[in-house]
A and B are shown apart, each in its own frame.
Chain A
């Protein structure tokens, strides 16, 4: 993690927080017969009307299935307008939201897992939302799904790491540490956009603010990293911090679907991932005790590549030359990184303290070669 900086994503998140009136379950006076009725079951999500007037909308959900479910109203780019979790079998719930004119989806998720069952709906009338091209919405929706999936995949890995710490198993925890960070590192610009989570889970010793106490306030992965590698022991405080890490990551997983994501924030987010590599990984600062920097490095590059691939259909039309350059440089950096792992399917990379000066220079050159053209991706998407 880097000292907090207000990214495009972060700035947009603030705006989203102000406009989204979500998730309130009280009875609303807007309800009654105008309400949209959603009949949820284990295999269906029936919506009583697919067109309704924009403005304050009430959605009455009845779960007729056997599994606990959740219901979302999503923008075309999969951003959450409003949601309601934990609707038990046989229970009812009401959701209200301020919905502008435009296209939406109502989604039920029986079992609260997977993509769910969706139904397209339309809010009509004045006050239309911002219009974006369908291909941009597709890219954003796919990236949002990626970000959510990364968070979901991270939790069990982080839990395994936390369990090892809590069992006092130093060697076991060391083996699980780097892998528990991969999902976070792949989507770090989005994760960082929730300003309160990043300082809890990914701050380094020198990242604490004035007045913060190293004993009390330093939490997260790197605090545990120091305990494991520098101190080589696990105490009560570390066991406590393992639980804190899981709690904070759970918070991240809950919030991540609501991040404000735009095509340009995806593009600049990809560039920021390379910035992370250039400032923290290439220097060996990020993982100064464990020297697992190359695992983070790989994850950052993978996250950037995912973002790029999703935007590529748009960028190819606007700037084919740039796309060619990016394809070449992503491939080159991948080859370069592969030199540091024996098995291309694994995330077992060479310990960074074993990587010499000349090799670090080569890695740094590779990052510059990719990051410079990548900084032009946002323009290619916006054109």
Chain B
């Protein structure tokens, strides 16, 4: 629930990519196409480039690249986010799992089933792939892995010396009501796709491959992206009915990404260069009381009007906000980089609705995902500011929290998630 600055750049859209069915039909050739993109094509087509496949094509987002896909990639419509506990105590087993996950992710993001597929194998044995995504397009599926603080614990995998300083344990912010069963995790995988079935399928396969070595700790489904990393798209609305994330960092703004999102070579943890840090927060909204709040109050709380999304005193959504015109405790004002010494994060949050709580209230809100170069300079100062005085706090509560170090991209077909960490 924060604003970020951006620079609007035009982007081209990828032309129609093959559907899963077509890729299957080509046999090995379909995958070779994906693998080819890993090499020279990545620079021109990978995340961070100006080539962003649009939602309607069902295209495949290249898996290989300098950075992991799913961060600067144009935000897809749906999310399945999963946090895992690592159960194995064996470093070699963990490495093996990460390699298996990488291989499966490479296939699934190309629109292909894992292993020997979803049917046609031995009738006495369950198929390798659960099959619910057969015949569906790649749907811009991205799979993004993160490593939680627990992985670096002493006497665990010999990684204690590699924990980045910027991967901090978050302080408890005022108003936090965190549920341990929805917080933390040694590993996370963010699956984003334009088709929810494709995203759910991907997490399900990885969970299955992981059984025995990992156990799912918690997971979250998301819909209705609440921010955009493509500035020329309509800014989506959150569950409170407000446009949110107008000034997010654009996935095409290389300078801003380098400055605020990607971990740089001199930042202190070489293995993480080209990676990022992720903060995930499950933010429950008190939907019912919000809906009884007068319009003027709602607009004052956000600092924008509800219809156009224009900042107070301005007429267009993308007009430069004049912060002093807003109430001192307006959400946009408090979240703005100018109020936070320039602190800026890349947001990829999604709305969620997990049915109804026992009191008949909609269990809904924002599943907040923020990527940044340093959590201490990104999320923390902004959230301190918000938690202290944001008037929105009356209507929201943070109920889940996790932080992860997000490694750099998988370079090619021989590379795997976490190689630099375990090297």
Contact = CB atoms under 8 A, between A and B. Distances in A.
Nearest to B213: A369
Interface in A338-373: 357, 361, 365, 368-373
Interface stretch (A82-90, A105-113, A121-129, A374-382): A374-382
A372 B215 contact: no
Interface of A: 8, 264, 267-268, 325, 328-329, 357, 361, 365, 368-373, 375-376, 378-379, 382
The 4 A-B pairs of least Cβ separation, nearest first, read A379-B125, A369-B212, A365-B215, A372-B211
Contacts of A375: 125-126
A264 B212 contact: no
Nearest to A376: B125
B212 A325 contact: yes
A371 B126 CA distance: 12
B87 interface: yes
Main secondary structure of the interface of A (DSSP, over half): helix
B122 interface: yes
A369 B215 contact: yes
B124 A370 contact: no
18 contacts: A264-B124, A325-B212, A329-B212, A361-B215, A365-B85, A365-B87, A365-B215, A368-B211, A369-B211, A369-B215, A370-B212, A371-B211, A372-B211, A375-B126, A376-B126, A379-B121, A379-B122, A382-B122
B208 interface: yes
Interface residues of B, number: 13
B125 A382 contact: yes
Chain B contact surface mostly: loop
A365 B125 CA distance: 22
B212 A268 contact: no
Given A365-B87, A369-B87, A372-B208, A268 B124 contact: yes
Contacts of B85: 365
Contacts of A373: 211-212
Interface centre among B122, B125, B211, B213 (most CB of A within 10 A): B125
A361 B217 CA distance: 9
A328 B181 CA distance: 27
B212 to A, nearest CB: 4
Q: Most B CB atoms within 10 A — which of A267, A329, A361?
A: A361
Given A329-B212, A369-B87, 8 more contacts: A328-B212, A368-B215, A371-B211, A373-B212, A375-B126, A376-B126, A382-B122, A382-B124
A94 B338 CA distance: 100
A311 to B, nearest CB: 12
Interface in B212-232: 212-213, 215
A84 B121 CA distance: 42
A369 B211 CA distance: 5
Nearest to A264: B124
A241 B122 CA distance: 44
